[in-house]
Structure 1
Amino acid sequence: MGKEKPKYCEICGAPIRGPGHIIRIEGSELLVCDRCYEKYAHKKPGTFSIMPTGRQPTRRTYSRPPSRPKPAPKPRTERPLVAEEIVEDYAERVYQAIQRSKKSYQELAQEIGLSMNDLRAIAHGHREPTIKEARKLEKYFKIKLIESVESEVQEKKIIPRNYEPTLGDIANVRIKKRKK
C-alpha cells in the first residue's frame, strides 16, 4: 500500500501527527491537531467562537542589530517661503516686446524655443505662460515676467501616533437645510 495522505488541522492548518481528534464547534465536526483539541474540546458549546473577534493580533518582535545614534536634528531657522508668480500684465509686456523686436511670430518662436501658437496665445493673454516659458521670454526680451512672493510659513499640525481618524475627519460633510 502507498503512503497515507497527510492530514491538516481544520482550525490552525498544522499537519496532524497520528489519528487527530474530531471536535464539534458551532454545529460542525472538525478534524483538529492535539494543540487545538486541548484548546477547544473542553469548552461548552455556544460560549466561544474561533472566528476573529476584532482584537489586534499580538506583534512579533524581532531582534535588530544595534543602531547608530541618530545625529541631533539641526535647528530649523524660520525663513519665509518664496514662491514665484507670473506678473498680472504679462500679456501686455510680451506683446510690446514683440512689437519692439520687429520680427514675425514664426522667427521669434524659433529663436526663443516656443511654438508659434504658444507665443501668440501668451502675447494676446489667452493663456498664462508656465514659469519655464516665462524664463525663456525674460531671457530673450530682457523683460520682467516673474516676481517672487513671500508667504508665511504655516506650522504643520502635529497628529498623535495613536490617532485613528473618524468618519467625520475623512468625509467632507455638507448639511443642506430642507425647504419647508
Structure 2
Amino acid sequence: MSECEVCGCIIRGKPILVQIGGAKMWVCSNCAKLGTEIQRPGMDAIKKGSSGMVSAKPGFRSVSPQKKKSRDVFDMIDGEINEDFSDIIRDARMSKGLSQKELAMQIKEKEGLIKKIEKGMIPEDSVRKKIEEALSIKLTESSDISLKTGPKGGIEPTLGDVMKIKKGK
C-alpha cells in the first residue's frame, strides 16, 4: 500500500496520477478532484520504490493535458484593419439586401460569426477576405509607410526618424 501525496492517508485501491499546479502527484480518489487527472493506471503498471513512494514502471507513458496555443488575430491580418470595419460590413451587407444569415451562407461561415464581427470582433484574415469579396468592399489599409506632411506642406519626421538621426550623430 502507498500513501497519498496530498493528504498522507493510506491509499486503498488504485492510486491516481493528477497534476496540481505544476506538480504531478499520486493521490487517493478523494484528493484526485483537487487537480487534473492524468492517468488512472492498473495495479500492474505501478511499482513501489525503495522510498515507499509509488511510481510508474518504465515504459508506462503518462498523458499530460495539452495546452491550446494562444492566437493573436492581429498577427493574422495583412495590413491594418479600418477602425470602423464593423460599420462598413453592416452597411455593405444591408445595401446588397442581405441578412446576416444569407451573408454567412454565401461565405460558408456561421451566422454567429457574422453577428460578432458586426459587433466589433476582428475577423481572421481568411474570413475578412471572404467578406471583402462577397460585399465588394475593402476593410484594410495598406501597412506601407506613407509620408506625412506637416502644416507647411513639408515632410514631418516620425519619432523613429528622430531616433535614427540622434543615433547617427
TM over 0.5: no
TM-score, normalised to structure 2's length?
0.38
Name the one with the larger helix percent.
2
TM-score, normalised to structure 1's length?
0.35
The structure with the largest alpha-carbon Rg is: 1
Larger relative contact order, structure 1 or 2 (CA cutoff 8 Å, min sep 6)? 1
